[in-house]
Amino acid sequence: MVLPVHRTVPWGTVGAAGAAGLLLAALTRTGATAEGLSLYLLRAAILAFAVGLAFLLDDPARHTTAAVPTPRPVRVALRVALAVPAAAAWWTVALLLVPPGARPPVGDITLEAGAAFVLAMTGAAAAVRFSEVTRPGLPAAVGLLATAVLAMLFWPGRWALFVTVEDERWAAAHDRWGMVLAGAVILGAVCAMEPVRRRIRL
């Protein structure tokens, strides 16, 4: 079961997004100005890789595999399990690319990364759960990018998420990131269930 699933995962798309993200992280080493922007560049890198993860559930043979005995939640879990080591390795490299003196608190920024990655896959799972699409990656990626931009522009300051390390709201913001991550995990688990079947009209 693992090998067939592994062959259907769009590793090329995930890899391209990961490479773009690492390039953004590497920009933090290009000078003092870039170091000062390290948090923003690292967040951009996270978003780039998350966009790639949104394509993780793309499966052109979805309607064929729906008939196999293995339940959809198991197939989704296998795809996620295959991606976890790659995501962990990518994140480790991304962090190491940022100069130590310019690196934001690792635990907190890792929480942001985890939330973004899970949100991306949850968006794809929701597209599968509530539609008949076989390639949910594109709408999930567009939704993720739109959500990120809108959140940065219009999210209320008292519930701020995207704050700087020096901001006194940093700790509170990451409490909220923890809630975002937990909510995304729960929603993702629900959306990983078998898609809604259209009722047959009599």
What is the per-residue pLDDT across 5-30, written as a single tens digit (0 to 9) for each? 788 889 999 999 999 999 999 999 99
Task: Give the chain's end-to-end CA distance (angstroms, integer).
Answer: 38
Predicted TM-score of the model (pTM): 0.89
pLDDT of amino acid 64:
62
Per-residue pLDDT tens for 123-170? 999 998 888 888 999 999 999 999 999 999 998 988 999 999 999 999
d(CA 97, CA 29): 7
pLDDT: is 134 or 72 the higher one? 134
Can you tell me the mean pLDDT for 162-191?
96
Q: How far apart are CA 181 and CA 176, in angstroms?
A: 9
Q: Residue 73: what pLDDT?
A: 82
Average pLDDT for the chain? 89
Dihedral over Cα of 4, 191, 42, 58: its sign = positive
Q: Kindly state the tokens that stand for 35.
A: 């170091």
Does the structure show a pLDDT above 90 at 62?
no
Is it the case that residue 110 has pLDDT exceeding 70? yes
